Structure 1
Protein backbone atom coordinates (compact mmCIF):
# COMPACT_ATOMS: atom_id res chain seq x y z
CA UNK A 1 0.00 0.00 0.00
CA UNK A 2 1.21 3.52 -0.74
CA UNK A 3 1.76 6.28 1.78
CA UNK A 4 -1.33 8.37 2.37
CA UNK A 5 -0.68 11.96 1.34
CA UNK A 6 -1.28 14.82 3.71
CA UNK A 7 -4.55 16.51 2.94
CA UNK A 8 -7.64 15.81 0.98
CA UNK A 9 -7.76 15.83 -2.81
CA UNK A 10 -9.44 19.23 -2.63
CA UNK A 11 -6.73 20.81 -0.44
CA UNK A 12 -3.98 19.40 -2.65
CA UNK A 13 -5.84 20.66 -5.74
CA UNK A 14 -6.09 24.12 -4.14
CA UNK A 15 -2.33 24.10 -3.52
CA UNK A 16 -1.71 23.02 -7.13
CA UNK A 17 -3.95 25.86 -8.30
CA UNK A 18 -1.89 28.44 -6.38
CA UNK A 19 1.35 27.13 -7.85
CA UNK A 20 -0.18 26.89 -11.33
CA UNK A 21 -1.08 30.59 -11.07
CA UNK A 22 2.61 31.53 -11.40
CA UNK A 23 3.37 29.41 -14.48
CA UNK A 24 1.86 29.21 -17.94
CA UNK A 25 1.33 25.62 -19.02
CA UNK A 26 2.16 22.48 -17.10
CA UNK A 27 2.03 18.71 -17.32
CA UNK A 28 -0.42 17.77 -14.55
CA UNK A 29 1.37 14.58 -13.45
CA UNK A 30 4.82 16.20 -13.32
CA UNK A 31 3.39 19.28 -11.64
CA UNK A 32 1.70 17.22 -8.94
CA UNK A 33 4.95 15.35 -8.28
CA UNK A 34 6.87 18.64 -7.99
CA UNK A 35 4.37 20.61 -5.90
CA UNK A 36 3.01 17.84 -3.67
CA UNK A 37 5.49 14.96 -3.72
CA UNK A 38 4.57 11.61 -2.27
CA UNK A 39 3.31 8.20 -3.24
CA UNK A 40 -0.39 8.13 -3.97
CA UNK A 41 -2.81 5.68 -5.38
CA UNK A 42 -3.99 6.45 -8.86
CA UNK A 43 -7.58 6.84 -7.70
CA UNK A 44 -6.50 9.51 -5.18
CA UNK A 45 -4.57 11.40 -7.90
CA UNK A 46 -7.62 11.19 -10.15
CA UNK A 47 -9.69 12.86 -7.42
CA UNK A 48 -7.08 15.65 -7.16
CA UNK A 49 -7.18 16.21 -10.92
CA UNK A 50 -10.99 16.08 -10.92
CA UNK A 51 -11.07 18.82 -8.30
CA UNK A 52 -8.67 20.93 -10.38
CA UNK A 53 -10.11 20.16 -13.83
CA UNK A 54 -12.94 22.71 -13.67
CA UNK A 55 -10.31 25.46 -13.37
CA UNK A 56 -8.07 24.53 -16.29
CA UNK A 57 -7.92 24.56 -20.07
CA UNK A 58 -6.13 21.93 -22.10
CA UNK A 59 -3.53 23.31 -24.50
CA UNK A 60 -1.65 21.48 -27.26
CA UNK A 61 2.06 22.35 -27.13
CA UNK A 62 4.61 20.49 -29.26
CA UNK A 63 2.49 17.34 -29.60
CA UNK A 64 1.75 17.33 -25.85
CA UNK A 65 -1.47 18.18 -24.11
CA UNK A 66 -0.69 20.47 -21.19
CA UNK A 67 -2.88 22.27 -18.70
CA UNK A 68 -3.24 26.00 -18.10
CA UNK A 69 -5.32 27.80 -15.51
CA UNK A 70 -8.31 29.72 -16.78
CA UNK A 71 -7.68 33.49 -16.58
CA UNK A 72 -10.21 34.28 -13.85
CA UNK A 73 -8.99 31.38 -11.71
CA UNK A 74 -5.40 32.62 -12.17
CA UNK A 75 -6.41 36.16 -11.09
CA UNK A 76 -8.14 34.85 -7.98
CA UNK A 77 -5.25 32.56 -7.04
CA UNK A 78 -2.75 35.41 -7.50
CA UNK A 79 -4.91 37.73 -5.36
CA UNK A 80 -5.02 35.08 -2.65
CA UNK A 81 -1.24 34.59 -2.79
CA UNK A 82 -0.74 38.35 -2.39
CA UNK A 83 -3.26 38.55 0.47
CA UNK A 84 -1.44 35.73 2.29
CA UNK A 85 1.95 37.29 1.43
CA UNK A 86 2.98 34.02 -0.26
CA UNK A 87 3.52 35.18 -3.84
CA UNK A 88 7.31 35.52 -3.75
CA UNK A 89 7.74 32.20 -1.94
CA UNK A 90 5.43 30.45 -4.42
CA UNK A 91 7.35 31.88 -7.37
CA UNK A 92 10.63 30.74 -5.82
CA UNK A 93 9.23 27.22 -5.29
CA UNK A 94 7.61 26.90 -8.73
CA UNK A 95 9.85 26.93 -11.79
CA UNK A 96 8.15 27.08 -15.18
CA UNK A 97 9.06 24.38 -17.65
CA UNK A 98 11.86 25.26 -20.06
CA UNK A 99 9.52 25.92 -23.00
CA UNK A 100 6.96 27.86 -20.95
CA UNK A 101 7.72 31.38 -22.23
CA UNK A 102 4.61 32.86 -20.64
CA UNK A 103 5.50 31.30 -17.27
CA UNK A 104 8.97 32.87 -17.35
CA UNK A 105 7.60 36.26 -18.42
CA UNK A 106 4.80 36.11 -15.83
CA UNK A 107 7.20 35.33 -13.00
CA UNK A 108 9.58 38.10 -14.05
CA UNK A 109 6.67 40.52 -14.28
CA UNK A 110 5.33 39.54 -10.85
CA UNK A 111 8.82 39.88 -9.32
CA UNK A 112 10.15 42.92 -11.17
CA UNK A 113 7.14 44.65 -12.67
CA UNK A 114 8.34 43.84 -16.19
CA UNK A 115 9.63 40.80 -18.03
CA UNK A 116 12.12 42.88 -19.90
CA UNK A 117 13.97 43.87 -16.74
CA UNK A 118 17.18 45.22 -18.22
CA UNK A 119 15.99 44.30 -21.73
CA UNK A 120 14.89 46.89 -24.27
CA UNK A 121 11.23 46.16 -24.97
CA UNK A 122 11.72 47.68 -28.43
CA UNK A 123 13.83 44.58 -29.21
CA UNK A 124 11.34 42.02 -27.89
CA UNK A 125 9.62 39.77 -30.44
CA UNK A 126 5.96 40.29 -31.21
CA UNK A 127 5.09 37.07 -29.38
CA UNK A 128 7.04 38.13 -26.29
CA UNK A 129 5.37 41.55 -26.34
CA UNK A 130 1.95 39.88 -26.38
CA UNK A 131 2.97 37.60 -23.51
CA UNK A 132 4.34 40.63 -21.62
CA UNK A 133 1.04 42.47 -22.11
CA UNK A 134 -0.88 39.46 -20.80
CA UNK A 135 1.42 39.12 -17.80
CA UNK A 136 0.98 42.83 -17.07
CA UNK A 137 -2.80 42.35 -17.10
CA UNK A 138 -2.48 39.75 -14.35
CA UNK A 139 0.08 41.79 -12.43
CA UNK A 140 -1.85 45.07 -12.56
CA UNK A 141 -5.00 43.41 -11.23
CA UNK A 142 -3.25 42.56 -7.94
CA UNK A 143 -3.50 44.62 -4.78
CA UNK A 144 -0.36 46.49 -3.73
CA UNK A 145 2.07 44.15 -2.00
CA UNK A 146 4.20 44.93 1.03
CA UNK A 147 7.41 44.18 -0.84
CA UNK A 148 6.21 45.07 -4.31
CA UNK A 149 8.49 46.37 -6.98
CA UNK A 150 6.51 48.78 -9.10
CA UNK A 151 8.49 49.02 -12.30
CA UNK A 152 6.12 49.05 -15.19
CA UNK A 153 7.75 48.91 -18.59
CA UNK A 154 8.66 52.32 -20.02
CA UNK A 155 6.23 51.72 -22.90
CA UNK A 156 3.18 49.50 -22.64
CA UNK A 157 3.69 46.46 -24.89
CA UNK A 158 0.31 47.10 -26.52
CA UNK A 159 1.57 50.43 -27.89
CA UNK A 160 4.62 48.73 -29.36
CA UNK A 161 2.42 46.01 -30.87
CA UNK A 162 0.13 48.63 -32.42
CA UNK A 163 3.11 50.49 -33.87
CA UNK A 164 4.54 47.28 -35.33
CA UNK A 165 1.16 46.42 -36.88
CA UNK A 166 0.90 49.89 -38.42
CA UNK A 167 4.44 49.62 -39.84
CA UNK A 168 3.62 46.23 -41.37
CA UNK A 169 0.46 47.68 -42.88
CA UNK A 170 2.35 50.65 -44.29
CA UNK A 171 5.11 48.45 -45.68
CA UNK A 172 2.51 46.30 -47.41
CA UNK A 173 0.13 49.04 -48.63
CA UNK A 174 2.38 52.05 -49.30
CA UNK A 175 4.42 50.57 -52.19
CA UNK A 176 1.19 49.72 -54.02
CA UNK A 177 -0.25 53.25 -54.02
CA UNK A 178 0.02 55.30 -57.21
CA UNK A 179 -0.20 59.05 -57.67
CA UNK A 180 0.99 59.92 -54.17
CA UNK A 181 4.07 61.85 -55.36
CA UNK A 182 1.87 64.63 -56.78
CA UNK A 183 -0.16 64.77 -53.55
CA UNK A 184 3.00 64.96 -51.47
CA UNK A 185 4.43 67.80 -53.62
CA UNK A 186 1.16 69.74 -53.49
CA UNK A 187 1.04 69.60 -49.71
CA UNK A 188 4.50 71.15 -49.33
Structure 2
Protein backbone atom coordinates (compact mmCIF):
# COMPACT_ATOMS: atom_id res chain seq x y z
CA UNK A 1 0.00 0.00 0.00
CA UNK A 2 1.32 3.43 -0.90
CA UNK A 3 0.90 5.80 2.04
CA UNK A 4 -0.39 9.24 1.16
CA UNK A 5 1.62 12.27 2.27
CA UNK A 6 -0.82 13.26 4.99
CA UNK A 7 -0.32 10.07 6.97
CA UNK A 8 3.44 10.50 7.00
CA UNK A 9 3.21 14.06 8.25
CA UNK A 10 0.56 13.26 10.83
CA UNK A 11 2.61 10.56 12.47
CA UNK A 12 5.81 12.54 12.18
CA UNK A 13 3.94 15.07 14.30
CA UNK A 14 2.68 12.56 16.81
CA UNK A 15 5.98 10.78 17.30
CA UNK A 16 8.37 13.70 17.50
CA UNK A 17 8.60 16.08 20.46
CA UNK A 18 9.48 19.69 19.63
CA UNK A 19 9.94 22.84 21.68
CA UNK A 20 7.61 25.80 21.27
CA UNK A 21 8.63 28.24 18.56
CA UNK A 22 8.56 32.02 18.64
CA UNK A 23 5.66 33.88 17.12
CA UNK A 24 5.99 34.90 13.48
CA UNK A 25 3.83 37.10 11.24
CA UNK A 26 0.75 35.44 9.79
CA UNK A 27 1.59 33.65 6.54
CA UNK A 28 -0.50 34.03 3.38
CA UNK A 29 -0.85 30.78 1.43
CA UNK A 30 -1.83 30.66 -2.24
CA UNK A 31 -2.35 27.49 -4.27
CA UNK A 32 -2.81 28.21 -7.96
CA UNK A 33 -4.09 24.76 -8.94
CA UNK A 34 -7.14 25.05 -6.65
CA UNK A 35 -7.51 28.84 -6.33
CA UNK A 36 -7.02 28.44 -2.58
CA UNK A 37 -5.95 31.34 -0.34
CA UNK A 38 -5.58 31.39 3.44
CA UNK A 39 -3.79 33.27 6.18
CA UNK A 40 -2.15 30.95 8.69
CA UNK A 41 -2.27 32.35 12.26
CA UNK A 42 0.92 34.01 13.44
CA UNK A 43 1.52 31.50 16.23
CA UNK A 44 2.19 28.75 13.67
CA UNK A 45 5.66 28.78 12.15
CA UNK A 46 6.36 27.40 8.68
CA UNK A 47 8.87 24.55 8.71
CA UNK A 48 11.93 25.03 6.56
CA UNK A 49 12.97 22.30 4.12
CA UNK A 50 15.71 20.91 6.35
CA UNK A 51 13.46 20.54 9.40
CA UNK A 52 10.69 19.09 7.26
CA UNK A 53 13.06 16.53 5.76
CA UNK A 54 14.27 15.45 9.21
CA UNK A 55 10.72 15.01 10.52
CA UNK A 56 9.66 13.05 7.45
CA UNK A 57 12.53 10.61 7.82
CA UNK A 58 11.78 10.07 11.49
CA UNK A 59 8.11 9.59 10.65
CA UNK A 60 8.98 6.98 8.00
CA UNK A 61 11.19 5.09 10.41
CA UNK A 62 8.55 5.07 13.14
CA UNK A 63 5.74 3.98 10.81
CA UNK A 64 7.84 1.09 9.53
CA UNK A 65 8.59 0.11 13.10
CA UNK A 66 4.96 0.29 14.24
CA UNK A 67 3.67 -1.76 11.30
CA UNK A 68 6.69 -4.08 11.32
CA UNK A 69 7.25 -3.81 7.57
CA UNK A 70 8.70 -1.51 4.93
CA UNK A 71 5.97 0.82 3.69
CA UNK A 72 6.03 2.74 0.43
CA UNK A 73 5.59 6.48 0.88
CA UNK A 74 4.11 9.17 -1.33
CA UNK A 75 6.88 11.60 -2.32
CA UNK A 76 4.56 14.61 -2.80
CA UNK A 77 5.03 15.68 0.82
CA UNK A 78 8.29 17.35 -0.13
CA UNK A 79 6.17 20.09 -1.73
CA UNK A 80 3.65 20.33 1.12
CA UNK A 81 3.29 23.40 3.30
CA UNK A 82 3.80 22.55 6.99
CA UNK A 83 3.35 24.77 10.02
CA UNK A 84 3.73 24.10 13.72
CA UNK A 85 3.31 25.76 17.07
CA UNK A 86 5.02 22.82 18.75
CA UNK A 87 5.21 19.05 18.31
CA UNK A 88 1.58 18.54 19.33
CA UNK A 89 -0.04 21.39 17.40
CA UNK A 90 0.48 21.42 13.65
CA UNK A 91 -1.08 22.27 10.30
CA UNK A 92 -0.46 20.88 6.82
CA UNK A 93 -1.66 21.75 3.34
CA UNK A 94 -0.85 19.63 0.33
CA UNK A 95 -2.03 19.44 -3.27
CA UNK A 96 -1.02 16.68 -5.64
CA UNK A 97 -2.30 15.02 -8.78
CA UNK A 98 -4.78 12.16 -8.38
CA UNK A 99 -5.31 9.86 -11.36
CA UNK A 100 -8.54 7.90 -10.92
CA UNK A 101 -7.62 5.50 -13.74
CA UNK A 102 -4.49 4.30 -11.92
CA UNK A 103 -5.30 5.12 -8.27
CA UNK A 104 -8.95 4.06 -8.18
CA UNK A 105 -12.06 5.60 -6.66
CA UNK A 106 -11.22 8.72 -4.64
CA UNK A 107 -13.74 8.15 -1.84
CA UNK A 108 -12.49 4.60 -1.37
CA UNK A 109 -8.89 5.82 -1.24
CA UNK A 110 -9.80 8.31 1.49
CA UNK A 111 -11.64 5.62 3.42
CA UNK A 112 -8.56 3.39 3.27
CA UNK A 113 -6.34 6.26 4.39
CA UNK A 114 -8.57 6.99 7.38
CA UNK A 115 -8.60 3.33 8.36
CA UNK A 116 -4.83 3.32 8.25
CA UNK A 117 -4.73 6.43 10.43
CA UNK A 118 -6.96 4.76 13.02
CA UNK A 119 -4.90 1.56 12.97
CA UNK A 120 -1.62 3.44 13.33
CA UNK A 121 -2.93 5.54 16.18
CA UNK A 122 -4.06 2.36 17.94
CA UNK A 123 -0.58 0.87 17.55
CA UNK A 124 1.09 4.08 18.68
CA UNK A 125 -1.11 4.53 21.76
CA UNK A 126 -2.45 1.04 22.63
CA UNK A 127 -4.09 2.16 25.88
CA UNK A 128 -5.71 5.32 24.45
CA UNK A 129 -9.47 5.66 23.99
CA UNK A 130 -9.92 6.42 20.31
CA UNK A 131 -12.99 7.52 18.37
CA UNK A 132 -13.43 8.76 14.83
CA UNK A 133 -16.10 10.05 12.45
CA UNK A 134 -16.50 10.96 8.79
CA UNK A 135 -18.81 13.66 7.44
CA UNK A 136 -19.13 16.34 4.74
CA UNK A 137 -18.47 20.05 5.17
CA UNK A 138 -18.66 22.90 2.67
CA UNK A 139 -16.13 25.75 2.82
CA UNK A 140 -16.49 28.64 0.37
CA UNK A 141 -18.58 26.49 -1.92
CA UNK A 142 -16.21 23.50 -1.90
CA UNK A 143 -17.59 20.27 -0.43
CA UNK A 144 -14.99 18.41 1.62
CA UNK A 145 -14.80 14.93 3.08
CA UNK A 146 -14.06 15.62 6.76
CA UNK A 147 -12.44 13.04 9.01
CA UNK A 148 -12.04 13.51 12.76
CA UNK A 149 -9.97 11.24 15.00
CA UNK A 150 -9.65 11.80 18.75
CA UNK A 151 -7.25 9.82 20.93
CA UNK A 152 -7.44 10.29 24.69
CA UNK A 153 -3.83 9.53 25.55
CA UNK A 154 -4.07 10.37 29.24
CA UNK A 155 -6.45 12.02 31.68
CA UNK A 156 -5.11 15.44 30.71
CA UNK A 157 -4.14 14.97 27.06
CA UNK A 158 -6.22 14.23 23.97
CA UNK A 159 -4.70 14.24 20.49
CA UNK A 160 -7.11 15.54 17.85
CA UNK A 161 -6.77 15.09 14.10
CA UNK A 162 -9.07 16.84 11.61
CA UNK A 163 -8.55 16.10 7.92
CA UNK A 164 -10.25 17.77 4.95
CA UNK A 165 -10.10 16.17 1.49
CA UNK A 166 -11.37 17.32 -1.91
CA UNK A 167 -10.63 16.22 -5.48
CA UNK A 168 -10.96 19.13 -7.87
CA UNK A 169 -12.03 18.75 -11.50
CA UNK A 170 -8.46 19.21 -12.72
CA UNK A 171 -7.43 16.11 -10.67
CA UNK A 172 -5.87 18.27 -7.94
CA UNK A 173 -6.10 16.27 -4.71
CA UNK A 174 -6.30 18.85 -1.90
CA UNK A 175 -5.62 17.83 1.71
CA UNK A 176 -5.66 19.97 4.84
CA UNK A 177 -4.72 18.43 8.19
CA UNK A 178 -4.98 19.94 11.65
CA UNK A 179 -3.35 18.16 14.59
CA UNK A 180 -3.72 19.59 18.08
CA UNK A 181 -3.80 18.88 21.79
CA UNK A 182 -4.33 22.51 22.79
CA UNK A 183 -8.02 23.32 22.26
CA UNK A 184 -7.38 27.05 21.85
CA UNK A 185 -4.75 26.51 19.15
CA UNK A 186 -6.97 23.98 17.43
CA UNK A 187 -9.89 26.39 17.28
CA UNK A 188 -7.59 29.15 16.00
CA UNK A 189 -6.20 27.19 13.05
CA UNK A 190 -9.58 25.62 12.29
CA UNK A 191 -11.22 29.05 12.17
CA UNK A 192 -8.51 30.28 9.80
CA UNK A 193 -8.99 27.33 7.47
CA UNK A 194 -12.76 27.71 7.43
CA UNK A 195 -12.27 31.37 6.44
CA UNK A 196 -10.14 30.36 3.42
CA UNK A 197 -11.26 31.18 -0.12
CA UNK A 198 -11.33 29.26 -3.37
CA UNK A 199 -11.25 31.35 -6.52
CA UNK A 200 -14.11 30.33 -8.78
TM-score, normalisation: structure 1: 0.29
Larger relative helix fraction: 1
Of Structure 1 and Structure 2, the greater strand share is in 2
Q: TM-score, normalised by structure 2?
A: 0.28
With a CA cutoff of 8 Å and minimum separation of 6, indicate the structure with the bigger relative contact order: 2
